[in-house]
Chains A and B, each alone.
Chain A
Amino acid sequence: MTGRVVAGALGLAGIGTGLAVLLTDPHVRDPLDVAVWLVAALLLHDAVLVPLVLLVGAALRARGPLRGGLIVGGCLTAVALPAVLRPGPVPVSLLPLDYVRNWLFALGAVAVVTALAAGWALLRSRWGRRARR
């Protein structure tokens, strides 16, 4: 219990430290800007991204390897998008690769591994059934 109280108090102190920086740092001219972006992040995630993910998952009845492939491909996409979408001009030696090609290549690799895993799962369940017979 003491541990919980100490952790909770440290946590509140941490939040306080962060808020103090936000409210006092002269470079942060309007802390309200940050608040707006915080709420926007919350709304975009809770009201757009997750419902979308749930709908796709339900529509595809994604389980096992298919779900795994979607999770891995989705996360790679999240990391690739800033590199793909960043508006120019791009400084020398920043973003030197062809990120659209690399992103598609990565998704292709995920698709191949997913298909192999799904095939393997199918074979295993068939063998299992035959062994039980």
Chain B
Amino acid sequence: MRGSVSAIRKEFSGLRQASARSHGAMRFRPVLPRLPDPVFRGRLHDARTATVVGRALGAAVAVCFVTGVISHYLQQPPGWAVNLLPSRPVWGYRLTQGLHVASGLAAIPLVLAKLWTVYPRLFVRPVVRSVLHALERLSIAVLVGAVLLELFTGLLDTVEWYPWPFPFRQVHWALAWVVTGSLLLHIAVKAPVIAANWWRTVAMDALEGPDRRSFLAAVSAAVGAVTLATVGQSFGPLEDVALLAPRHPDHGPQGLPVRQTAAEAGVTRERLSGWRLQVAGPNAYELTLPQLRAMKQHSVVLPIACVEGWSKNAHWTGVRVRDLLDRAGAPHGARIRVVSLERGGNYGVSVMGASYARDPLTLLALALGGEPLAPDHGAPARIIAPDRPGVLQTKWVTRLEVLQ
């Protein structure tokens, strides 16, 4: 134990000498009077603590990034992939997007703990040792700034609050790459330190073992508490303890939350009067609501899974989309364009690949839980398909177009 303590003293005196050198060099530059360098007496700002917290944070960022990429490409698939997106498992997007938001929330305590641990390194002297050192510090600044802003924008998106001057989705997507890239770079740079501190050794344990364990237990408890207070928005069994979840599975018209109301979408009773479903294809036709109801009805249990992380299973009844397409003489591999009465916003029109359109579970739903759809759920008719982001489950459908 004493050996390790003297090692730390040596490190500190080394730092002091380094800062003395930099003070000496400062005579040649006009500098404003400055605060003395802070002194950190706490012993948990060490590489072992940073490694333990850092690898948990790395895992959370990895899960968040992968699930985010999945969500991005499900919403905006490249042209060649449109017909290949999987419609199974039906709960696939519910799981990945639930994980995306849960891992992002779990990353908040982890990133705060990690940055607290390494905070003294902000004051390392000399400020810049070499070009390589300058680049490393710059990359750390990029990593820290990007990860903080990424988590902040994601957290505020869950409450649909956008106080910044840039678009959320594009910047959240761009920063995800910056965060993951600069994290990989950081791991590459720090690999020897990480490797040396990956396993607990007797020396580090003797030095600050109990205090470190208590700190790590607290950070784990914070991750657990944040998760417990929010994950019920997508994980039913915990909905009763979802104290801080921005959406609650039980709150909404017909017992199901909505992302956008009819009023927000500009869908009024007037615009719905005389509503017909138009199907454009080789044999185009139109159907009134009673005619749709007279067709063979199917019932499915499928989740609504929102990009904002909440999700809930529901019981839908309606006409199979593939029955509608067959009647229009659509070829089997055809994609379809779904057009909504919705005004403004990005989701008034969606394109559905053949894997969803031909799926027997994909419905033009007319009823939810045995009742006609509420206006906010897309009355008179909406799309519900398995394993698909909620924003693509187009509501207030007025037209289906067969694309070649």
A contact set with B: CB distance below 8 Å:
3-5, 7-8, 10-19, 21-22, 25, 27-30, 33-34, 37-39, 41-42, 45-46, 50, 53-54, 57, 63-65, 67-69, 71-72, 74-76, 78-80, 82-83, 86-87, 91-97, 99, 102-103, 105-106, 110
B145 touches A41 (CB 8 A): yes
Contact of B218 among A25, A50, A68, A102 (CB under 8 A): A68
A33 touches B166 (CB 8 A): yes
Residues of B128-147 contacting chain A, CB below 8 A: 141-142, 144-146
Q: A18-B176, A28-B170 are in contact. Are A75 and B184 (CB under 8 A)?
A: no
Q: A75-B109, A91-B264 are in contact. Are A18 and B170 (CB under 8 A)?
A: no
Interface membership of B202, Cβ < 8 A? no
Instruction: Give the complex CA separation of A76 and B155 in angstroms.
Output: 13
Q: Is the interface of B mostly helix, strand, loop or mixed?
A: helix
Chain A contacts for B112, CB-based, 8 A: 74-75, 78
Chain A contacts for B253, CB-based, 8 A: 92-93
Chain B contacts for A94, CB-based, 8 A: 159-160, 246-247, 257
5 A-B pairs closest in CB distance: A14-B181, A11-B185, A18-B177, A11-B184, A68-B218
- Which residue of B is nearest A95, CB measured? B246
Residues of B91-150 contacting chain A, CB below 8 A: 105, 108-109, 112-113, 115-116, 119, 122, 141-142, 144-146, 148-149
Give the A-B pair count, Cβ closer than 8 A: 211
Contact of A11 among B109, B166, B188 (CB under 8 A): B188
Chain B contacts for A5, CB-based, 8 A: 188
Instruction: Give the complex CA separation of A8 and B136 in angstroms.
Output: 12
B interface size (C-beta, 8 A)? 77
Expressed in whole angstroms, the minimum distance between the Cβ of B105 and any Cβ of chain A is 6
Interface membership of B214, Cβ < 8 A? yes
B218 touches A53 (CB 8 A): no
A19 touches B174 (CB 8 A): yes
Expressed in whole angstroms, the minimum distance between the Cβ of A2 and any Cβ of chain B is 11
Expressed in whole angstroms, the minimum distance between the Cβ of B184 and any Cβ of chain A is 3
B218 touches A71 (CB 8 A): yes
Task: List 23 A-B pairs, Cβ < 8 Å.
Answer: A5-B188, A11-B187, A18-B146, A18-B177, A21-B174, A30-B165, A30-B166, A33-B164, A34-B166, A41-B148, A54-B119, A63-B214, A64-B214, A71-B219, A71-B221, A74-B112, A76-B226, A79-B105, A80-B229, A91-B258, A93-B253, A94-B159, A102-B244
Expressed in whole angstroms, the minimum distance between the Cβ of A64 and any Cβ of chain B is 5
B174 touches A8 (CB 8 A): no
Q: Is the interface of A mostly helix, strand, loop or mixed?
A: helix
A37 touches B164 (CB 8 A): yes
Instruction: Give the complex CA separation of A129 and B119 in angstroms.
Output: 36
B217 touches A18 (CB 8 A): no
Chain A contacts for B223, CB-based, 8 A: 75
A86 touches B159 (CB 8 A): yes
- Which residue of A is nearest B256, CB measured? A93
Interface membership of B8, Cβ < 8 A? no
Instruction: Give the complex CA separation of A30 and B214 in angstroms.
Output: 45
Residues of B224-273 contacting chain A, CB below 8 A: 225-226, 229-230, 243-248, 251-253, 257-258, 260-261, 264
- Which residue of A is nearest B189, CB measured? A8
Expressed in whole angstroms, the minimum distance between the Cβ of B346 and any Cβ of chain A is 10
Chain A contacts for B204, CB-based, 8 A: none
- Which residue of A is nearest B158, CB measured? A82
Residues of B199-222 contacting chain A, CB below 8 A: 211, 214-215, 217-219, 221-222
Contact of B181 among A13, A41, A68 (CB under 8 A): A13
- Which residue of A is nearest B210, CB measured? A64
